[in-house]
Structure 1
């Protein structure tokens, strides 16, 4: 896990995943888009994986549980995400716990954190996030 944490300190990444088989994938984009795309394209990749991430909210936590992540370290984690991960059987460590992840403009709760507050189901969260991402792409 220390090597994964080092990626956060050294690299221009926001997160890194090492599969149970030892393959590493780096997340560079903000939000859950890289995680969502990985879990869609390679659904088995997260099973038993170790993750280090700068910011983990409820949406990401539900995707991590859905994928079967084994261990996760977050620099910042929301209380809701921490609860989801612990209930999902993920071994969790973190630097700072916050009540909610704040949006990019600093004006409120992150939209994915707010979107997934209404569900405990990783599968339902996946669909909610999928629709959110598709709507965002249409706005561009």
Structure 2
């Protein structure tokens, strides 16, 4: 698919993320943030292998997951310079609508917390380990909160 077609796929369907094998969408999400790509990486990694990822916004954390997941190509409406570098060094063909020095957080007060988390990671593997630790800690916190609310 062309850049324009991938952009339209995201826009026309309200997707924030779509994963394609050939021209077939094998996964899509309308949820903001890194969580959908992270869950796919952890639960259905085979869908990422040799895929094309179309992402509305791609920061370094998403790039780490794309590289380790074995994606062959990433298209992003907006990509950070750090994400671009990770993808290029990981051998992932990268196309984008716009590039920024970094991804801004939702309140527009600084850098995206996920990009901040992996910013100084020396390798994609180190970045992924940090993401796993973060999301597992979040899950434990939520499970602990749910248990406390039941009593």
TM-score of the pair, normalised by structure 2? 0.84
Q: Residues of 2 paired with 1:21 and 1:6: CA distance?
A: 14
Shift of the 124–106 alpha-carbon distance from structure 1 to 2, 3 Å rule, reads same
Matches within 5 A, 1:9-20: 9-19=11-21
TM-score of the pair, normalised by structure 1? 0.90
Q: Is the 8 A contact 2:86 2:124 kept in 1?
A: no
Please point out which of 84, 87, 90 is paired with 1:85.
87
Asked if residue 59 in structure 1 is aligned to residue 61 in structure 2, the reply is yes
Q: Residues of 2 paired with 1:9 and 1:83: CA distance?
A: 25
Unaligned segments of structure 1, at least 5 residues: none
Q: What's the CA shift for 1:123?
A: 2.1
Q: What's the CA shift for 1:22?
A: 4.2
Q: Is the 8 A contact 2:61 2:115 kept in 1?
A: yes
DSSP 3-state at the match of 1:118: coil
DSSP 3-state at the match of 1:8: helix
DSSP 3-state at the match of 1:44: helix
Stretches of 4+ aligned residues off by more than 6 angstroms:
none
Unaligned segments of structure 2, at least 5 residues: 146-151
Please point out which of 46, 49, 53 is paired with 2:48.
46
What is aligned with 1:99? 101
Please point out which of 108, 114, 117 is paired with 2:110.
108
Q: What's the CA shift for 1:27?
A: 2.1
- Count of aligned pairs between the two proteins: 140
Please point out which of 122, 125, 145 is paired with 1:123.
125
Task: Give the stretch that moved more between structures: 100-109 or 114-123.
Answer: 114-123
RMSD, matched Cα: 1.8
Q: Which structure has the larger Rg over C-alpha atoms?
A: 2
What is aligned with 2:77? 75
